[in-house]
Amino acid sequence: MSKSLDYDNKLILAPMVRINHLPTRLLSLDYGADIVYSEEIIDFKILTSRRRENEILGTVDYELPDGTVIFRTCPREEGRLVFQLGTADAKRALKAAQKLENDITVLDVNMGCPQPFSLQGGMGAALLRKPEKVKDILSTLVKGLKIPVSCKIRILPKLEDTIKLVKIIESTGVCAIAVHGRTIDERPRHANQNHVIKAIKQAVKIPVIANGGSKEILCYEDIAKFKEETGADSVMIARAAEWNPSIFRKEGKLPIEDVIKQHVRYALKYDINAISAKYCILQIMHTSMDMAEGQPMLDCKHMVEICDIWKMEDEFKATQELLTKKRAEEMEEESHRNNMVAKRLKSEDGSILIRLPVRFTKANYPTDMSPKQHLHVRCMKNHEKAPPYKTIQRESDRRFNSVLTFQGRKYTTPYWEKSKQLAEQGAAIACLISLGLDDGRVNNIEAEDDELRRKWKDLVSDQNHNSDIKNDTCTEIQNNLEKTDDSSKMAQPETAENVT
């Protein structure tokens, strides 16, 4: 990544909400933005996440233990991406930033967020009244990182207090400061105080980025007016760009239908979940909800529905087929590399144990119906007892594996997961697939191809195995189960209330 950014006369996108904005960032770059900011993510989340190079998508992902991607970037953003961090602690901020610095261009500390969650955590605009902490955080980051550091603030009620604060910020060695021309108590309905931004620019030598003018920025020409009124080096646009990223086009904005379809293409290409895609599309449609697509967009829940609304079914199908093929190849390669192929085994107690190389990825399932819930509903309909999950934790790395028992057979996966929930969901998926049932996967995004599923079905079928099954147990799992206290590790039978 580039080690610096030129802020002179640059157009900048700064997403407003904490949702995956990769398609919006890419659209903004396509339409003329010079620099893009990530959505703000707090340091705790970064420290909890793991960095993964996603070879299928060609991205770098930061994932939480449950598989949720909190930040995703791609080569298109190289040298132009500013990561916005939420923090209230210098040491913690540095630790999180050091984890990120090879994947971003600049680290920006958000000291302007007025939202309650941020203020209660001592982050965002809460820092504006704590100049010593501001200095500590920024100085620590500047000294400890190989990449430049910047920050974004709101103004204080008194101009002299604002000037005093920005001079402290400048003294820390930051590369730039973005200024939203409203106080912590003001909202978009209040006029942006452009004269204060101008006074700040006159008071410091570092680049000043003007923000807060979206209400008056209706076309490309308005960007130049805002820059002139504030005297700033660069202009940062948030709401106006979320409403239509083509605001950055010198030739003028494009029809929202064209922008939305390109947004959907990026969402498909980079496997963005439907919740994020829907939110961003509704932002673009915010004054056009009377369109024929308005109500269907409010009602939709999955990417296949979004593509159907915008008549992009063929693009959806083509993209999913490509991703499915790539995932199947990766899964097969990983399985053979780690000997994680599907197996039909015999447990020590003589029961059959089916082990399938499947995993639960949260983004690929609806929020209201998990694989465990699918299996539970199936049991309720057939008046069967809900299956127990025997979940154990490996001492060496504190990871989990779960074995589900259903109708006299056991089901598991070869993977050791970061959480008990992930392990149990994987076991439920293995059981459902073995029974020939739908595991609830949305759009079948990661579904194995028909041939692979037929092989697994053949593996499970008693018709293809005689009674002399090799006593090939999952040794590590079996040994751990024998050491485990059943009363503490055995999952309780699910009820409608506690199924996750």
- As annotated, the active-site residues are 113
| H-helix or E-strand spanning residue 108 | strand 106-111
Rounded to 10 degrees, the C-alpha dihedral 480/486/488/493 comes to 120
Query: Which residues neighbour 419 within 8 Å (Cβ) at sequence distance 6 or greater?
Result: 65, 66, 400
The values of phi and psi at residue 75, to 5°, are: -55, -25
CA distances from 152 to 54, 85, 134, 481 (A): 30, 10, 11, 52
Six-digit token string for 252 = 């003028």
Q: How many helices (H) and strands (E) does the chain have?
A: 19, 17
Question: How many residues are recorded in the chain?
Answer: 500
Contact 186, 160 (CB under 8 A): no
How far apart are alpha carbons 180 and 233 in whole angstroms?
14
Query: Which residues neighbour 69 within 8 Å (Cβ) at sequence distance 6 or greater?
Result: 20, 61, 62, 63, 363
How far apart are alpha carbons 207 and 35 in whole angstroms?
14
Exposure string (b/e) for 169-179, b if CB count within 10 Å is 16 or more?
A: bbebebbbbbb
The region, left, alpha or beta by phi > 0 then psi within -120 to 50, assigned to residue 356 is beta
How far apart are alpha carbons 451 and 457 in whole angstroms?
10
How far apart are alpha carbons 299 and 367 in whole angstroms?
15
How far apart are alpha carbons 284 and 256 in whole angstroms?
7
First-last CA distance in the chain: 41
